[in-house]
A and B are shown apart, each in its own frame.
Chain A
Amino acid sequence: MSETHDDPDRAFVRALARDIGLTIPEPCLPGVMVNRDLLRQYADLVNGFALPDTCEPAFDYQP
């Protein structure tokens, strides 16, 4: 399928994958998109929480 006629969401996911050097095989695309939608719901939850500017990322986490 040519990307010009592709579903815009599929084209976007393919473009995102290209940015990280990943080619998503066509049969994998529906599953990747379902999982991406799920992650976006979780992302909305986390991004919807206001944090103080001084709250730093916990990259080197100490419990």
Chain B
Amino acid sequence: MTEMPSATRLATDIRAGRLTAVSAVTAAIADIEARDTRINSVTRIFGPGAVAEAEKIDRRIAAGDDPGPLAGVPFGVKDLFDVAGEVTTAGSVVLRESRPATQDATVVARLRAAGAIPVASLNMDEFAYGFATDNAHHGITRNPHDPARLAGGSSGGSAAAVAAGLLPFTLGSDTNGSIRVPASLCGVWGLKPTFGTVPRHGAYPFAASLDVVGPFAGTLEDLQMVYETMYGADMPDLPSVSTLRVGRLGGWFADNVSEPLARAIDAVSTHLGGAETVVLPEAARARAASFLITAAEGGNLHLPHLRRHAQQYDPATRDRLMAGALQPAATVIQAHRFRSWFRAQVHAVFRNADVLVAPATVGEAPRIDQPTIMVDGQSVSARANLGLYTQPLSLAGVPILSVPLAISGGLPLGLQLVAAPGREAALFAVAAELERAGLAGRVPLPMAKGR
């Protein structure tokens, strides 16, 4: 089976008449059916609807019409985005009996208007609460680089489907790191745009104060095109990297990093001009505040369901949501006040830097049979702690591009490139430079047995 080409290349071939949208979509579906059993990234295939959509695209092209820059490109959505005619379950049986969505989520509609075709929904931690994509109802999503390891979460199906070459791009959501963690562990590109700038309408919420939707892609070029389509406008021209002040986050973000990842960050920093170390104050409290706000808002959101049918939830999700709902108001308000304080610290840091480099996780994907990571010399739960470096930055709401480091051998490792609000263009400029220098890029799969 040949691997899925990039979205850009597929669309070019389809618009030029060298390939039909129907053949692209049916090939993607056949590939999912043949190969996804190994990793379990897909929960549902939108077969008839996707093929009908592809036929429309082909008819438009035959009539001389241009269906858009993503003409005929198949993509997948984390199972919390509304797709017209489908039930949005957010990875849970709790919503299984809900009515099908009457319209697409805004970002899905924008992608469809650009010619892209949703073909599948993708696995996730139930209601996006976790970093493992270990779903009691749909099973665990395995890392395509080593099926004995976690793909990360909560958008693990979205990252794994791209890493496996099943789909050129996918959609996910990120509340505490749910795009950045799986992108990093699966070795693909991911973007958490600036909080509040990409519409969330039609995406099932988790914690409204923190939720952001964004793309995964196998190439940086695709990531940019999909992001701009989701955002609804092109970015300004990318700045020259030589004009950007690049720093490296120290302190909290330098502790607990694995040796190979620390070496990779050294290499990236050296290439970017010896990035000066920058310390973001009170990162541990920022992570705590993000945890508390998430738990409280998630708990409140689910309270009506928890009152009626708690036993339908994944036990791990249910217990966390119930505990979150019990938090005292004083604590939640303090977390929101701390957020205001932290915002000022983040803005102060960006007065002297344009892009900051930080690890995305402490190291490579943990094993499924030993789902732990080492933090401060202690073995702790991966499901709860893989967001060690992502959660403090979630609180700030800044844009973050998850960069797959070009690794020769071994498992994928990822970086976070962080910019001031609205400065996504600076992130893409630095990422492109790292790609050009051979330091970043989607990590190829090993020659896996049984592929």
**Chain B at the A interface: SS class:** helix
Contact A55 B315 (CB under 8 A): no
Query: Which one of A16, A34, A61 contacts B195 once the chains associate, using CB atoms below 8 Å?
Result: A61
- Do A23 and B307 contact each other (CB < 8 Å), given the known contacts A46-B292, A57-B336, A57-B337? yes
A46 touches B320 (CB 8 A): no
Q: Is the CB of B331 within 8 A of A35?
A: no
Interface range for B: 35 or more
Q: Is A1 an interface residue (CB 8 A)?
A: no
The answer to whether B323 and A32 have CB atoms under 8 Å apart is: yes
Contacts of B320 in A (CB 8 A): 35
Contact status B196-A49, CB under 8 Å:
no
Q: How large is the interface on A (under 10, 10 to 19, 20 to 34, 35 or more residues)?
A: 20 to 34
Chain A residues, CB < 8 A from B330: 47
B326, B334, B397: the one contacting A47 at CB < 8 Å is: B334
**Nearest A residue to B420 by beta-carbon distance?**
A63
**What's the Cα separation between A47 and B398 when bound, in Å?**
24
- Residues of A1-34 at the interface with B, using a CB-CB cut-off of 8 Å, are 13, 16-17, 20-25, 28, 31-34
A-B contact pairs, 13 of them (CB 8 A): A21-B307, A22-B307, A32-B326, A36-B326, A42-B289, A47-B330, A47-B334, A51-B334, A56-B337, A58-B339, A58-B340, A59-B336, A61-B339
Q: Which residues of A contact B (CB under 8 A)?
A: 13, 16-17, 20-25, 28, 31-36, 38-39, 41-43, 45-47, 49, 51, 55-59, 61-63
Interface residues of B (CB under 8 A from A): 194-196, 209, 282, 284-285, 287-289, 291-292, 295, 303, 306-307, 310-311, 315-316, 318-320, 322-328, 330-331, 333-341, 343, 384, 396-398, 421
